[in-house]
Amino acid sequence: MINVSTAVPNDNLIVERQSSILVKGGQRKNQLKCDAESIAGCVSQRACVYCGARVVLNPVTDAIHLVHGPMGCASYTWDIRGSLSSGSELYRNSFCTDLKENDIIFGGEKKLARAIDELVEKYESELVFVYSTCVVGVIGDDLEAVCKTAAHKHGIQVLPVQSSGFIGNKSAGYRAACDALLRLIEPPGGARPINSRRPVKSVNYLGDFNLAGEAWIIKDYLKRIGVEVNVVFTGDSNYRDLKKAPEASLNIMQCAGSMAYIARRMEELYSIPSLQISFLGLEDTAASLCKIADFFGEPEMMRRAEELIKEETIAVQPEMGRYHEKLAGKKAAIYVGGGFKAISLIKQFRELGIDVVMVGTQTGREVEYQTLHDISDDGTVILDDANPSELERFMTEKGAHLLVGGVKERPLAYKLGVAFIDHNHDRKHPLSGYVGAVNFAREVYSTVCSPVWKYARETGGGLYAVENSELPER
């Protein structure tokens, strides 16, 4: 373990947290502590197992997503995902068994069975996901049995999602969701390698949740190079399409944090190989398209990929160039959910001439932190499961102009006079592919160069400049 106390002054930092933060430079290698439980009494930005499961499955558009528990867990996740549908909008409703005190005492199984009956009758869906919550995990309702009975009764698939909040962190929820998906896609008669794959080049696109329609952009690119997307996990997916998942000849994976497990299992069960790709930023988008073409080994496909890359790059260059001019030399801080997105973002900021001075994730894995460490500049602060005080401190110390994060980080950045861009559920434009790279640049520009900072920074929002201003030079 490196002696981080010399790397990071430890005033105001929790002693136990020191091993989760390091500054690049001087150390032989990255030895950041990650994938550990949060410390009780910290303002963590992390969520729970249920949250992880819900974000992965919620984009399945024609499923009844039934939350088995008290109302809260369902209400906070009601249509906040931002994933778009080209078909059913059923997934945008909030279904919950709304457990009451009596159900906690006597068990909630009967109410759950009634809820499934009533919902299936109303909505004629072929698929129900039943999410377990904390309290259900404690009182021990047999979700498996209730779901099995209901499935038999209605002749549809009713899948339990073992997502009691306390059984791990958000990553455990990704896994619970993937387990449910694996059951869903299993062909009748059990899992086995599919010998006769369909003749077209077809891929499953894993880890895109079609936020602001991103999966549609990528689907179009792939179509242009001659690749058909079999099904997306799980953006704009539906019951029928997901069922076809074992037929694909390749899995490509954007969000590795949530999908690495299911990709591995699909390779074991159905002999589908997988490629890690990323469609965030020009560089990664181009590399990913080539990687896919390379996998199929067809010169024609590679030619079309190169053509697409050239065409799209030329189309976006003038606008990207303008933003580069305005943004070069600015400093960005990154705090996102998973490690792979953070890696792509560092590259994407480089494309705009922006230096990343702080990078952290809620649930990044060790291998991702290694890459983050490798590609970061010297002096960049790298941290896992950060709390707001840490984010504040390093953004201020490093003079960041911009933070990339999720809903809880936005007002924190604003209070510091730091611009903000949402790279999570609350994003408003697609951020994938070439069009996404331009959207990203435009959004970065519109927030970093907004006239509001003139008032927010120079005088701290007041009439007079804040004395002894703690704001760094900008």
Partner 1 sequence: MLDCTPKEIIKRSGGMINPAKTCQPIGAMYAALGIHNCLPHSHGSQGCCAYHRSHLTRHFREPVMATSSSFTEGASVFGGGGNLKTAIKNVFSIYNPDVMAVHTTCLSETIGDDLPSIIKGAEVPEGKLVIHASTPSYQGSHITGFSNMVKGMVTYLAKATRDEKKEQVNIIPGFVNPGDMREIKRLGGELGVRSIIFPDTSGVLDSPMIGKFNMFPAGGAKVEDIRDSGNSKLTIALGYYASSDSAHLLERNCQVPAITLKTPIGIKATDDFLMTLRSKFVQEIPNQLEEERGQLVDVITDNHHHFYGKKVALFGDPDILTGLTEFILSLGMQPVHVLTGTPAGTLTGSGIFEKEIKEMLAAAGHEGRVKAAGDLFELHQWIKNEPVDLLMGNTYGKYIARAEDLPFVRVGFPILDRGVHSYLPIVGYRGAMRLVEMISDTLLDRQDRDAADEDLELVM
Residues 427-466 touching partner 1, rule: CB under 8 A, are 455-457, 459-462, 466
Q: Which of residues 123-162 bind partner 1 (CB under 8 A)?
A: 123, 133-135, 137-139
Q: Distance between CA atoms of 132 and 140, rounded to whole angstroms?
A: 10
- Fill in the per-residue mask, 164 to 203: x = in contact with partner 1 (CB under 8 A), - = not in contact: -xxxxx----------------------------------
Residue among 323 and 394 whose Cβ is closer to partner 1: 394
Quote the least distance from Cβ 390 to partner 1, whole Å: 10
Taking CB under 8 A as the criterion, the residue among 5, 6, 75, 450 binding partner 1 is: 75
Q: Least distance to partner 1 from the beta carbon of 243, Å?
A: 22
| Per-residue mark of binding to partner 1, 377-396 (x: CB under 8 A) | -----------xx--x----
The window from 19-27, 36-44, 291-299, 429-437 that contacts partner 1 (CB under 8 A) reads 36-44
How many residues sit close enough to partner 1 to count as binding (CB under 8 A)?
89
For residue 214, the minimal CB distance to partner 1 (Å) is: 21
Q: Is the CB of 82 or the CB of 246 nearer to partner 1?
A: 82
Q: How far apart are the first and last CA of the chain?
A: 35
| Cβ proximity to partner 1, 21 vs 73, nearer residue | 73
Q: Is residue 36 a contact residue for partner 1 (CB under 8 A)?
A: no
Nearer to partner 1, 25 or 87 (CB): 87
> What's the Cα-to-Cα distance from 72 to each of 45, 81, 425, rounded to whole Å?
18, 16, 19
Instruction: Choose which of 3, 12, 195, 196 interacts with partner 1 (CB under 8 A).
Output: 12
| Selected binder of partner 1 within 35, 276, 471, 474 (CB under 8 A) | 471
Largest CA distance in the chain: 74
On whether the CB atoms of residues 435 and 217 are closer than 8 A, the answer is yes
Q: Does 470 bind partner 1 (CB under 8 A)?
A: yes
CB of 51 to partner 1, least distance (A): 5
Q: How far apart are CB 386 and partner 1 at their closest, in Å? A: 13
Task: List the interface residues with partner 1, window 82-121 (CB under 8 A).
Answer: 89-90, 92-101, 103-104, 111-119
Nearer to partner 1, 330 or 393 (CB): 393
Examine residue 50 and tell whether it contacts partner 1 (CB under 8 A): yes
Minimal distance, residue 284 CB to partner 1, in Å: 28
CB nearer partner 1, residue 113 or residue 449:
113
7 lines the binding site for partner 1 (CB under 8 A): no
345 vs 404: CA distance, rounded Å? 9
Span 274-303, contacts to partner 1 by CB under 8 A: none
Length of the chain as a residue count? 474
Closer residue to partner 1 (CB): 91 or 434: 91
Among 8, 34, 47, 176, binds partner 1 (CB under 8 A): 47
Q: In the complex with partner 1, which residue's Cβ is closer, 207 or 405?
A: 405
51 binds partner 1 (CB under 8 A): yes
Contacts 24+ apart (CB under 8 A), 109-116: 109/141, 109/142, 109/145, 109/146, 112/66, 112/68, 112/141, 112/143, 112/146, 113/146, 113/149, 113/150, 115/66, 115/68, 116/64, 116/66, 116/146, 116/147, 116/150, 116/154, 116/158
